[in-house]
Each structure stands twice: as C-alpha cells, then as structure tokens.
Amino acid sequence: MREARALVVLFMVFNLLLCLYVGTRLFQTADFLQSTMNKLKTLTLGILDVPDFNDLKALGVYVVLLGISVFASAIWIYEDDFRIGILELMHKRETEPEHEIGSKEIEFLECPECGKELSEGFKLCPYCGYELKPTTCPACGKEISRDFNLCPFCGKKLKSDNAR
C-alpha cells in the first residue's frame, strides 16, 4: 500500500515539473511571438496590426498553478505518510551509530496493539504509543518480543497466565 502511495506522489512530482516546464515554454513562446510580430509591424511601417499574446501567458500561469495545486493535493492527501516518512528518516539518523554488531532487533511490520503499518526499527508506535522494542529473556539473555509468553530459545515461561 505504501509503495502505491509513493508512486502516486512520484507521479504528482513529475506532473508538477511537467507543468512548470510547459508554463515556462508558453511564456517564452508568447514573448517570442510578440517580439516577432513587433518586428513585422516595424517592417511593414505600422500597417500590420499586432495581436496581444497575453492570453498565451495567462495559459502558462494557469498550467503552472494547475501543477502546483495537484501537487499540493497529493501532499494533503498523503500528509500522514510524509510525516511518518520524516519520522523514519529522523529515527534512522538517531539510531544508526548506536547499532551494535551482532545485535539484531526484531522487525515489526505492523503494530501488535493497533494494527497500523510501521517501518522496521521503530521503538514506539507513532499512532498508539505501544512500546515495540524487544526485551531480553531473563534465562538465556536473547532478545525476544515483549508479547511472547515463552522464550522461543530456551522455553522459559515469561508471563503468568493472569497477567493477560
């Protein structure tokens, strides 16, 4: 799902760039046509009536504004994804130097509490605040999920039956 959203946003960025290019070209074309027509008017000693090319410039402005509005709509629709993407980038920058060799965290694809889609490496769910980081088995010392009732490595019972 997130990949499809990323493709939509990528398409919207491409659309914005294309609209900026087309709008700029329309402005350049209007200026070129205006200067060419003014030269023709000079050559014909003012007999030729020179049309105004402001409509072409207005079309260029419209195309640029259309591209900006479509891009702004994509940002508004996928605002949460942008915010979470920024949080992910900030989280990766904060945790990269702290990773120890040989220590591997458990990867979560969705929050076990609220079910929202998460990226690997999150320590807390940004939606419900559920603590995602693994815990250590008191018997064998291996990292395991906080939700486990038994350690999958040594079989130690971790939670009492009335704890849940």
Distance CA 149, CA 152 (A): 9
pLDDT tens sequence across 18-61: 988 998 999 899 889 888 888 888 888 777 777 888 888 888 88
pLDDT tens sequence across 89-117: 777 666 655 444 444 555 546 787 888 88
Distance CA 123, CA 6 (A): 24
pTM of structure: 0.42
Domain count, the chain: 1
Is residue 119 assigned to a domain? no
13-17, 98-102, 119-123, 155-159: which range is least confident on average?
A: 98-102
Distance CA 52, CA 69 (A): 28
Domain assignment of residue 57, given as a range: 2-77
Is residue 44 assigned to a domain? yes
Distance CA 153, CA 82 (A): 38
Is residue 141 assigned to a domain? no
Q: Given pLDDT bands bounded at 50, 70 and 90, which one contains residue 164?
A: very low
Is residue 94 assigned to a domain? no
Residue carrying structure tokens 């050559």: 43
Contact, 70 vs 9, CB < 8 A? no
Is residue 160 assigned to a domain? no
